[in-house]
Amino acid sequence: MPEVEAVRKTWAHPEVDVLASITEWFTPLLEEADHMAAGINGGVRFTAEDDDRGDIDFVLDFVAREVRPYADEKVRYRFRTRRAYVEQLIADHEIDWVNSLFLSCRFSAQRIGPYNEFVYTFFKCLSEERLNYAEGWYTEQNEAEAGEMVELGGWLVQRRCAHLKADLTRFGHVDKGVLTCQMHGWKWRLADGKCLTSVGHDVRSEPADSSAARD
């Protein structure tokens, strides 16, 4: 037990500013999480509790796409855990809170209404890479969006990267007929959609002008 207690004492990180860190980390993710935001359509309250140092109570607002202090409002989803655990997650920059916090069962949760998979998916995707993969996956479930083409540098290209589904309107860059996805740096020759980085993984592409001519 003394060893366990000694390890437990290392979990608190008083030097971590929880609200500022979460705001800086989560805000860009909230801005990109279109499907999850539509699926949650409200606030998720998170309380990091500490009897001695005080609680930190904040809301992930999936409508305004922001993190802010909880302001006595009604929310549909709520989580509570120890402040020290949240500080440790921040210190480790842990990008999957489902695996690290929720599977440890060191939290409590409340909700109004049915289970919402989007809430848990968000907490599994706390990096830009994971979030884009999940958002791309949801896009592919929606056939209308799966065929979506976007214009990039004079070319029409499928919106989601053929590698791990990054949104090419944010990560795609076209130079001299070559598309680079800046998520991992993979490249494609747009004249025929061929992937120049790996076998397979070709993209759908065509010159934007020829489609304009056809229309």
Residues of this chain that bind ligand FES (CB under 6 A): 161, 163-164, 166, 181, 183-184, 186
The least CB distance from residue 27 to ligand FES, in Å, is 21
Residue closer to ligand FES (CB basis): 87 or 135: 135
Closer residue to ligand FES in complex, CB, 29/84: 29
CB of residue 14 to ligand FES, shortest distance in Å: 37
DSSP string, the chain: -HHHHHHHHTT--TT--HHHHHHHHHHHHHHH-HHHHHHH-SEEEEEEE-TTT--EEEEEETTTTEEEE--S---SEEEEEEHHHHHHHHHTT-S-HHHHTGGGT--EEEESSS--HHHHHHHH--SHHHHHHHHHHHHHHSHHHHT-EEEETTEEEESB-TTT--BHHHHEEEETTEEEETTT--EEETTTTEESSSSS----EEEHHHHHHH-
| Least distance to ligand FES, CB of residue 137, Å | 12
Which CB atom, from 97 or from 186, has the smaller least distance to ligand FES? 186
Cβ 164 to ligand FES, closest distance in Å?
4
Q: Which is nearer to ligand FES, 85 or 186 (CB)?
A: 186
